[in-house]
Structure 1
Amino acid sequence: MILVPLLILFTMVVAKLQKGVYASFLFLVATKSIMDAFWEFKFGPLSMLSIQGVLIPVLFYKIILTRKVIPKSWLSTAKIYIVALSLGLIWSIAVNPMGTLENLILSVNIYIGFILIPLLVHDQKRLKQFLIAIMICGIFPILVSMYQLQTGVVFQDRETVGLTRYVGFYHDAFPVRFYGLMTLFSVLLYQSTFKIEGLFMKLFLLLLTAGAFVSIYAVFSKAAVGIMGLWMVLLLVFSKSKIKQAFSIIIGVAVIFLVFGDAVYDNLEQLFSKEVGYQSGEVKDARYTLAGRGYIWENYWRFWTDQQSLIFQWIGDGITRPVHNEYLRVLMANGIIGVLFLVVFIFRNIANTFKMHKKLKVFGMMLIGMYIVDSIGLVPGVYYYYNILVWGIFGALLLKPQLFIKKTV
């Protein structure tokens, strides 16, 4: 099985040498969900995902050299984010040199992500190829989810509040719902930008949308439910094609009810049982909510306030800890200064959404909204591909609005 990720890495290199940077990037996008399924496999001391993380800057280093064509305001936004994520690395190199190197490569990948898509996707032909590549990426986790639901086979034993999470071959629910959400996002962006022609393409998008809704639902993620709810509200309030977007939402919701029936209500009630119980007074301790993350946050907060030295409180110790909250993670690793930079970054991008073309604002809001929800219970700053896609697309929406305007002729 180790041949599969090795073949993916090899093909990325061959595509770069024979077809160019963009072909290699499209292959990366289309196969990332398959690559992530091999998270347990190692080649020497490095995991396959770490090797791919090292390979990306090597293959796309020339992109950094051409970054001056990107507006300074967007580059400065990227730098603010990188400072927020890596300020404490100057201290961790002596304690954990290998971990520091991995975090440094992570920061380089994230920085490249801010400029990779805006520079490579420079016309509508490339935009169409890029969006289709994201859709292709979503097929693998969708098919695995369908197989598990049909057969009852569980590849990774994961549960939450008594519900089995169909996470496929991944470590947890995050990859399944991230690829599902980005599949839906790419479909929405595609139909907003391009005229959908041909029965095959219409059927493909319809089935893909339905499959993505099912795979997202089947991992029973509170964050996914929150993001889906937020996206639906944003689309219905801010979208210029409300009828089309409402139709897509109705299809997705209808598919979930057709597949799971009345169990949808019961499962969602069980998923949020702790949160509902706290609101009704049945659950007295708020720390039980959000899968018990309150206990984790409290323990690390006590460590930071009682045991961390003053210098580390201000600039961090560079060590990433499993805190399940991006702000607390940044506080621990990069200190108060890191958190301040992160807050500035978020508010700056909220402001950037209002600078986007009026037809594109909703998509910018969807991306920044997803990041904010994810940052509450997860740590998006440690996933380089998440940042490459989210901030790369966000940057393209901001800097190249002409690509996303549907041609009338």
Structure 2
Amino acid sequence: MTTAQDLIAAADAHCAPTYHPLPVVVATAEGAWLRDVAGRRYLDLLAGYSALNFGHCHPRLVDAAKRQLERVTLTSRAFHHDRFAAFCTELAELCGMEMVLPVNSGAEAVESAVKTARKWGYRVKGVPGEMAKIVVAGGNFHGRTTTVISFSTDPEARADFGPYTPGFQIVPYGDLTAMRAALTENTVAVLLEPIQGESGVIVPPEGYLPGVRELTRERNVLFVADEIQSGLGRTGRTFACEHEGVVPDLYVLGKALGGGILPVSAVVGGADVLGVFRPGEHGSTFGGNPLACAVALEVIAMLRSGEFQERAALLGERLHRQLAGLLGTGTVTAVRGRGLWAGVDIAPRIGTGRQVSERLMDRGVLVKDTHGSTIRIAPPLMISEDDLDWALEQLRGVLGV
């Protein structure tokens, strides 16, 4: 019988070491629960970095995928297919926008948004050739492609991958004064996460996002919101921008859009922005494929009910109320987040984020650390109250409170 240790050793031997996963080997999953190759159950509090907002193997999403698998899965964009128009129309409507640029991974969507902003800057705003600038925030995480890491402030993401792509300016996250000073006549876009996920679920100061939106309108600059992790119900609204009444020029979407079944991403915006493209200037063989559209259409239908957003808001209050009770115990130094999404900074005397993640794994709860001292909590939005309470009880046990 092949053991978990055997499978981990084989993966380590034959897979490039780009990740440091926890030593658990998942075999099956349903809802918020996973089962490893030995049959032990674990409660998933990571949800695929928010790709699994609706849980593992949600029946509606699995059925949508199965039905489409028996019909047609790929045509490329050389031809139309019968799910494409509905996908583009309904996703645009969900976002309150007009046009969709369908791609696959989140990083590909960010790259596509960068290209969109530059194209718009040259063709619409009139920025001189090769002079377009995009302003981003320190602590960002938008993916790991060469262009995207060029404006990362994470040394692990950048080191040894240069030369880097020019055309970006980094300012402190949450600092409107710095943002105002950075915008020039050649600025074509501001690209931000409404909540920074990989940095530890960093929520900006109240008024920051509306302030950025006002500045970008004043300066004729696009506001691009990377809602790949924060969007599609995670924070208690369809989009995190909604909490402050902000509507960007472009949404960048991914992760949960594919229902945890396959990669689906998109850039969504107005026709005045996405309409700058001409045939042949951008493309993706698998972007908007029939299988992706079928699953994403079911995701959109589920979001339209408002059920998942409401659940994230209500359970989020429960989550943050219990996490707030850890402050002052000497075990955690900070708690941040919104909805069913939290970053918890672990006190050094307790251990690193990795060590706490491993101790939780031993108790049947799966989370993931980031930036050394932080653990992230982001369960599927359909998690039960009892399961959430049990997971937090395990966290208290690990912390000794």
Select the structure that is richer in helix.
Answer: 1
| Common topology (TM > 0.5) | no
TM-score, normalisation: structure 1? 0.30
Select the structure that is richer in strand.
Answer: 2
